[in-house]
Amino acid sequence: MAARVVGRTGRLAAVVRSSAVRLQSRLHGSTGLRSGSQANFFPPLEDAMLPSGSFNNRMALITGGGTGLGRAMTATLSQLGAQCIIASRKLDVLQRTAEEISSQTGNKVHAVQCDVRDPQAVSQCVDQIEALTGLPDVIINNAAGNFVCPSERLSPNAWKTITDIVLNGTAFVTLELGKRLIQNQKGASFLAITTIYAESGSGFVVPSASAKAGVEALYKSLAAEWGRYGHRFNIIQPGPIRTKGAFSRLDPTGAFEKAMIDRIPTGRLGTPAEIANLAAYVSSNYASWMSGAVIRFDGGEYVSLAGEFNELRSVTPDQWKLLEAMIRKTKGS
């Protein structure tokens, strides 16, 4: 009897071990067990979700709107009728994007150069915006900087650069616009784009994690304080969405993409159009009762990373039979 149990336990240990090996090999990029085929259940819809004209007569400022997710948000808001202003450091990039989107939607997109790290530049940028369109109804703080780096290799200036763009930049834009909006008794929707690790923290992107957590504290605090001025503050935490800006700095060789997709329960990355639809909804009057919200939009990646037992997804039905038999045999403690 004892020998039978030992034999079974040995076999079980072997199957569980081989599962672990397969799991490791998935993490390191060789052929995996899961094909990600569950993505077929979750196809992205790319067209604008809100009724056309939802942003007619509304002005939207999108920082970092020249590229990546900011560009997609600008395109969607513009398609829905908004007059958009996109602001970042590279005027040529902004102008190209502005022209492309304007010509597709027929709605004006303005390009304004601004380094959000510099409060004076932010103030001048807001002067320009006031002259161009008046104060905006929608503000999306999307500009960011990031790179993967072991923390022991970070220089003080590397830390300062990321936290200046992400936390100080968001604060300068938000405070400058907030003060002027309050003075003019005009309400607005503020949205900050953070990340799922703003909540958990993450090694190797520590300045970004620290600054994004600060942005979340800033927005939750102002949601409580400035509702009385007609301002809403919300946060979207995106999971991985392929953009050149993010992927070139966070996975420069592409080695981690498969492991990342494997741990996302919906089996795929998000798309810029999907986040643009969510940002448009949160910024629209359909969400006028939403303030202080933190919306995770990540295909399930965060909970997948968090649950201690989630790796058991790789246990096969036959292995479960053995495991269950073992567990049921256990009597007492």
Ligand X SMILES: CCCCC/C=C\C/C=C\C/C=C\C=C\C(=O)SCCNC(=O)CCNC(=O)[C@H](O)C(C)(C)COP(=O)(O)OP(=O)(O)OC[C@H]1O[C@@H](n2cnc3c(N)ncnc32)[C@H](O)[C@@H]1OP(=O)(O)O
Ligand Y SMILES: NC(=O)C1=CN([C@@H]2O[C@H](COP(=O)(O)OP(=O)(O)OC[C@H]3O[C@@H](n4cnc5c(N)ncnc54)[C@H](OP(=O)(O)O)[C@@H]3O)[C@@H](O)[C@H]2O)C=CC1
Q: Which active-site residues does the annotation give?
A: 197
When asked if residue 113 is in the footprint of ligand X (CB under 6 A), the reply is no
Among 65, 70, 207, 240, binds ligand X (CB under 6 A): 240
Nearer to ligand Y, 9 or 248 (CB): 248
Distance CA(63)–CA(195), nearest Å, equals: 16
Which single residue brings its beta carbon nearest to ligand X? 145
For residue 167, the 8-state DSSP code is I
| Position among 245, 265, 292, 300 found at the interface with ligand Y (CB under 6 A) | 245
d(CA 283, CA 74): 12
**Does 117 help bind ligand Y (rule: CB under 6 A)?**
yes
Residue 58: closest CA among 131, 127, 107: 107
Give the shortest CB-173-to-ligand X separation in angstroms.
Answer: 16
Who contacts 149 (Cβ-Cβ below 8 Å, separation ≥6)?
Answer: 158, 204, 205
Closest CA to 100 of 117, 120, 79, 119: 79
Q: State which of residues 36, 119, 227, 245 lies at the interface with ligand X (CB under 6 A).
A: 245
Binding segment (CB under 6 A) for ligand Y, from list 4-12, 86-94, 123-131, 287-295: 86-94
- Strand ordering across the sheet containing 109-113: 109-113, 83-88, 59-63, 138-141, 188-193, 231-238, 294-297
**299 lines the binding site for ligand Y (CB under 6 A):** no
x/- binding map, residues 8-47, to ligand Y, per CB under 6 A? ----------------------------------------
Q: Does 214 bind ligand Y (CB under 6 A)?
A: no
Q: Is the sign of the CA dihedral 219, 224, 225, 227 positive or negative?
A: positive
Q: In the 8-state DSSP scheme, what is residue 188?
A: E
Q: How far is the CB of 120 from ligand X (least distance, A)?
A: 17
Smallest separation (angstroms) from ligand X to the CB of 223 = 22
End-to-end CA, the chain: 21
Cβ-based nearer residue to ligand Y, 81 or 109: 109
Chain contacts with ligand Y (rule: CB under 6 A): 63-64, 66-70, 88-90, 93, 114-117, 142-145, 165, 169, 193, 195, 238, 240-241, 243, 245-246
